[in-house]
Amino acid sequence: MRDYDVLVIGGGVVGSAVARELTRYRLKIGVLERESDVCTQTSGRNTGMLHAGFLYKPGTLKAKCAVEGNGEFDRVAKELDVPFRRTGKLIVGFTEEHRRRLLAMIERGRENGVPGMELIDRARMDEIDPSAGGNFAVFCPTSGILDPFLYTIALAENAVHNGADYHLYTNVTGAARLDDGRIVLNTNRGEFSARWVVNSAGLNSAVISEMLGIPGYRIQPIKGEYFVLDKKAGVFAKIPVYPAPTERNTFDTHATPTVDGNVLVGPNSFPVEDGEDYSVSRSGMNGLQESGAKMFRHMKREYYIRTFAGARPKRVDPQTGEIQDFLIERRDEVPGVINLVGIESPGLTSALPIARRAVRLIEEKERLIPNDAFDPVRRGIRRFHEASVSEKRQLVAENPDYGEIICRCETVTRAEILAAIHNPLGVTTVNGIKVRTRASMGRCQGGYCEMRITAMIREELGKAAEDVRLTNGRSFMFTGAVKGGEQA
């Protein structure tokens, strides 16, 4: 049995933020992540928005955490070396009904403490982004875009840097309590114990909550599908463009530039039974083509490079089905459990504010001793592509691996791939390299680099071909050598 002070179940953006915030104290922290990496589920399957906080009911945790998280993100992005741009956002309308809703939204934003929102006309819209659809819009200056993979990875790496342990491929299957009150977690990789357990299991947070002794929550996954568009379309997308909120105060399909210069079109939004079914449907894609074109005038087939889907784990009232706020709780009758249930959008924006609230709940019960060695700074992999010509010259001169281009579309070098293969979390999948470097995220989708990356994984980590995985579980890529051949 491996013993910890705190065990965090789920290494997504919230779990990793909790782990990172806990390393500010002298605690032994373990994170149990079921998958091959920290951003394979909800944390990596979203729009990558830094929300401003104008959509949520005043006084809710969603409103408070989003505004708090938004306000501090320039510092956070710098500290953790996360690609981030404060682009602002347009929420566009076509009809008088839309205008009414947009005005109500400005009012709500004001109540929540979102600064600078204003209603603007088409002329102003054209100044901001002529490719945006709509006749008028709300401009919100504080919204931004970030790389959700790298933010999650950065939090996790910073947690590891400050002493936390990450256990990948570790699925919690049960929980029990020892006589001294410590909680034992059973997993496919043996038993773990801790004084505190934080449930940040996302789509499975209700299941884990029940396992830990707090039954009665219900998670309704709301699925959304997306198109990823080529950077050739990205040159037209200056700012995220959202439609006016629906009657149910949610957003339909939007078009959002990514920090790397692509465009995301989506998501649609519909309830599903199985939140981990990430397939995209023909009908969904057809719908996105139509609704996406309303938001983004360059929504064209020739720009498609990929589709994906994600699910928002919404906590709903088990009786009425009504959507509820984030849940951040500690119950006296179930000591040692911090429960984070129904953390969905704006969870990316709210991850650190939620984490601080979770830490506070622990602090209310025991004195936490500051960790003087805590270092909030994490450095990412230096990107060749983003360097100037003279910097590139310097990089290659210092490290010849920067002179070997592995991913043609995104100009990712051998040096970056090597750094990603030897990442602090011990992730070994092809997808893990992808989200850390952008290799294979371009228009040829790995046609040039995948074979080089799999060869490097085999070489660097001493793996046989059949042990290389694309991503989770049994996602093997090769079945072995050719007839009578030796693997090259």
Partner 1 sequence: MTHVQAIVVGGGPAGLAAALRLREKGIEDILILERETLAGGILRQCIHDGFGLTRFGESLSGPEYAQRFIDRVAQEGIRCVADTTVLDISSDKTVTAVSRKRGLMQFQADAVLLTMGCRERTRGALAVPGTRPSGIYTAGVAQNYINLQNIMVGRETVIMGSGDIGLIMARRLTLEGAHVKGVYEVLPYPSGLPRNIEQCLNDYGIPLYLSHTVTEIRGRERLESVVVAQCDERFEPIAGTEEEIPCDTLILSVGLIPENELSLAAGVALDARTRGAFVDEHCQTNVPGVFAAGNVLHVHDLVDFVSLEAEQMAESAAEYLNAGSLPACCLEVKAGADIGHVIPQRISGTRDFTLSLRVRKPMRNVTLVLAQKDRTVKRVRLRKALPAEMIQLTVRKADLCEDADLEVYVE
Contact set with partner 1 (CB under 8 A): 227-228, 276-282, 284-285, 304-308, 389, 392-393, 396-397, 400-405, 408-409, 411, 414, 443-448, 450-451, 455, 465, 469-483, 485-488
- The partner residues of 248 in beta bridges, in order of sequence, read none
Q: Which of 407, 403, 479 is nearest to 442 (CA)?
A: 407
CB 13 within 8 A of CB 350: no
The CA-atom distances, in angstroms, between 397 and each of 24, 206, 265, 391, 392 are 38, 53, 40, 10, 8
Shortest distance, CB of residue 472 to partner 1, whole angstroms? 6
Tokens 């996954």 map to which residue?
221
Shortest distance, CB of residue 37 to partner 1, whole angstroms? 14
Shortest distance, CB of residue 229 to partner 1, whole angstroms? 10
User: Catalytic pick from 51, 167, 254, 298?
Assistant: 51
Q: Helix, strand, or coil here: 275? A: coil
From first CA to last CA, the distance across the chain in angstroms is 41
Q: Which is nearer to partner 1, 180 or 302 (CB)?
A: 302
How many angstroms separate the CA atoms of 5 and 194, rounded?
5
Q: Is 51 a catalytic residue?
A: yes
Q: Which is nearer to partner 1, 161 or 408 (CB)?
A: 408
Q: Which is nearer to partner 1, 21 or 416 (CB)?
A: 416
Q: Is 94 exposed, middle or buried (0-12, 13-18, 19+ CB in 10 A)?
A: middle
Q: Which is nearer to partner 1, 265 or 341 (CB)?
A: 265
Shortest distance, CB of residue 487 to partner 1, whole angstroms? 5
Backbone angles phi, psi at 208, to 5 degrees: -65, -40
How many angstroms separate the CA atoms of 183 and 9, rounded?
12
CB 439 within 8 A of CB 433: yes
Q: Compute CA 118 distance to the chain's CA centroid, rounded to the nearest angstrom.
A: 29
How many angstroms separate the CA atoms of 155 and 284, rounded?
33
Shortest distance, CB of residue 74 to partner 1, whole angstroms? 31
Q: Which is nearer to partner 1, 315 or 469 (CB)?
A: 469
Tokens 């005038």 map to which residue?
297
Shortest distance, CB of residue 226 to partner 1, whole angstroms? 11
- The partner residues of 266 in beta bridges, in order of sequence, read 254
Q: Which is nearer to partner 1, 277 or 317 (CB)?
A: 277
How are beta strands 190-199 and 412-413 bridged, if at all?
Answer: unpaired
Side chain identity at residue 169, one-letter code: Y
Shortest distance, CB of residue 481 to partner 1, whole angstroms? 6
How many angstroms separate the CA atoms of 211 and 336, rounded?
13
Shortest distance, CB of residue 295 to partner 1, whole angstroms? 18
Q: Which is nearer to partner 1, 106 or 455 (CB)?
A: 455
How many angstroms separate the CA atoms of 33 and 468, rounded?
19
Q: Which is nearer to partner 1, 101 or 231 (CB)?
A: 231
Q: Which of 161, 22, 147 is nearest to 73 (CA)?
A: 147
Q: Please count the CA atoms within 13 angstroms of the CA of 230 that sit on its side-chain side.
A: 14
Rg over alpha carbons for the chain, rounded to the nearest Å, is 23
Q: Which of 167, 113, 166 is nearest to 140 (CA)?
A: 113
Catalytic residues, by residue number, are 51
